[in-house]
Amino acid sequence: MRLFANCFSLLALVFTLSASAQENPEWNQVFANINKEVLTNSKAYSSLKYATENIGHRLTGSANGKKAEEYAYNLLKSYGFKDVRYQPFEVESWSRGMLTVTAGADMQNQQPVKSVTLAHSPVKADINLELVDMGNGLEEDYQANPSKVKGKIALVYLGVLPGSKPGTRSLHRSEKTAIATKYGASGIMIINTPDGGILLTGTASVTGKLIPIPAVCIGKEDGMELKRKLKEGKLYSHIAMTNFSGLIKARNVVATIKGKTLPNEKIVVGGHLDSWDLATGAIDNGIGSFAVLDMARTFQALKLQPARTVEFVMFMGEEEGLLGSKAYVEDAVKDKSIDQLRYMLNYDMTNDPKGYSTTAEDSRDLFQYIGNIARAMDTSFRNSFRAGAGLHSDHQPFMLQGVPTGGSSGGGLPNNAGPCYHADCDHFKLVDESGMKNNVRFSSMLVYGIADAREIKAKHFSDEETKAFLLKNNLKEPLQIAGEWRWND
C-alpha cells in the first residue's frame, strides 16, 4: 500500500509539474538556474557575517544604522543594479540610557533586579510604587477590578501563563503596555518567557511614539519569583531610567527590476534591515534581510526580468513601530502607486523554509505550482501551504491597504535561536548557512513565479473587503489597541 501511495503521489507531482510547465514552460529552467546560482555563489551568509563583525547592531537612527543603510546600498550597486535609491523618512529615534530596577517588601529595602528598558519608554522616569500581579496583561485581567493597578506598577507575563484557560490568546508587549496604561498603571514590568535569565528588548509602544509610563523587561526566573512573593504579601519596586528620543532621518534602501511586459504591476520583496542594540541582530533580522539582498543578487546575476516589476526593499525602523514600511506605504498612497502593488512578500526571521504562506487563499494554486517545481529539485522542500494573517512586521501596512501579502514559511530557527529573539544573545554564531541558502533559493523561485505569472488571482482588496478580511482573522482588537482600526462600526 505504501509503494502504491508513493507511486500515486509521484504521478500527481508529475502531472502538476506538467501543468505548471505547460502554463509557464520556461519556469523549470529558470528555477534550475536559480537553484544552481544560489547553491554555488550565494553571498547571504558571508555578507551577514561581515555586517555583524564590522557594523554590529543596526539600530535605526544610530551611527550603526546609517552604516547598515550604506552597506546595503553599496552591496546592491556592486551586484550590478542601476536603479538603487534611498527612501528617506523622518523617525522619532529612541535609544536607551541608564536603568536601575529594584524590588522588595517595602519602599526602602529592595534588591536589584536584572532588567532592560523597553523601547519608547520616557526619556526620564523615577518611580517607587507598589507592584501588582496582572497575570497575562490582557483586558480580562483588568476588568474584574479596573482600579487594581491605578497608580501602581503592573507585573505582566509576556506570553500566556501556564494554566491559563484554553484558548487564551496573547498580545504583543506594546499592546499589553497600552492596556496597562489604559487602566491607570504608572509603570509596567514584563516577564520574559525563555529560561536562563535572558532579557528581551523591543518597543512597548503601539504607535512608535514615546509612552507615558516606564516599561522594563525582566528574566523569567526573577519574574516568577516576584509572582510567588506577591501571593504572600505586598511588594514595591523602584524603577529609575533615562533614555534619549529625538527626530532624525533614516532610509529604506530600494532596488528595482522593471517588468518586461507588465511594468506597472509591482511585487515588493522586503525585510527589515534594522535591529535592536543588545546584540548584532543576526537572527532578527539578519537572516531575513540579507537573504532578500541575496535574492536581489541572484536576479541580477541571472539577468532575470519577469513580466512584472520587482522591488527589493530593505526597511529601516521596523523594530520601532514598522516605521520604514509605513513610510513606503504612505508614499505609495500619496502618488497612487499603491494601486499597482499586486503582492508584498515579507522576510522576517525566515529560515530554511518548507513551503509558502499568504494572506490570500486564492494564491494556493499558483504557490503550489511554484512549490512543486522547487520540490522536484529538492524534496526537503515539502511545499506546504498556509493562508492566514498576523501583525507586527513590515507586511502589516501593506495588508491594511488591501495588498495581498505572503512569503516563505515552515522552517525553524537555527541552533535554538528562538530564546534569543530581541535579546542579548542574538549573535552570528546562531546563523546556519544552509538555512539561509534554502531561504534564498526557494524564495527567489516564489518571487519570480508570482512576478511572471500570467494571472494573479489574489486581488487587491477594497476598503470594505480589507475590513471584512481583518475581522475574519480576528485582528480588530489589536488594531484598535494600536489606534490603526480606521473603520466606524
Q: What is the pLDDT of residues 178-234, one digit of tens each?
A: 999 999 999 999 999 999 999 999 999 998 889 999 999 999 999 999 999 999 999
Phi, psi of 476, rounded to the nearest 5 degrees: -65, -45
Give dist(CA 141, CA 384) in Å, integer: 37
pTM, rounded to two decimals: 0.89
Of the candidates 368, 264, 255, the one whose C-alpha atom is nearest the C-alpha of residue 307 is 264
Q: What is the pLDDT of residues 419-431, one digit of tens each?
A: 999 999 999 999 9
**How high is the mean pLDDT of the chain?**
94
Over residues 231-251, mean pLDDT: 95
pLDDT for the residue 92:
73
The H-assigned helical ranges of 239-306 are 287-301
Q: What residues does each domain of the chain span? A: 23-83+258-481, 94-243
> Hey, which residues does 289 pair with through a beta bridge?
none
User: Check: CATH 3.50.30.30 for 94-243?
Assistant: yes
- pLDDT beyond 90 at 20: no
Half-sphere exposure of 253 (CA within 13 A, CB side): 25
Q: What is the pLDDT of residues 363-413, one digit of tens each?
A: 999 999 999 999 999 999 999 999 999 999 999 999 999 999 999 999 999
The H-assigned helical ranges of 183-309 are 220-230, 287-301
Cα-to-chain-centroid distance, residue 465: 24
Q: Which fold does the domain 23-83+258-481 belong to in CATH? A: Aminopeptidase (3.40.630)
- pLDDT beyond 70 at 328: yes
Q: Which helix (H) or strand (E) holds 160?
A: none
Enter the DSSP assignment of 165: P
With 0-12 CB in 10 A as exposed, 13-18 as middle and 19+ as buried, what is 356? Answer: buried
Report the share of the chain in percent with pLDDT over 70: 95
CB 450 within 8 A of CB 268: no
Give dist(CA 392, CA 478) in Å, integer: 10
The three-state secondary structure class of 163 is: coil
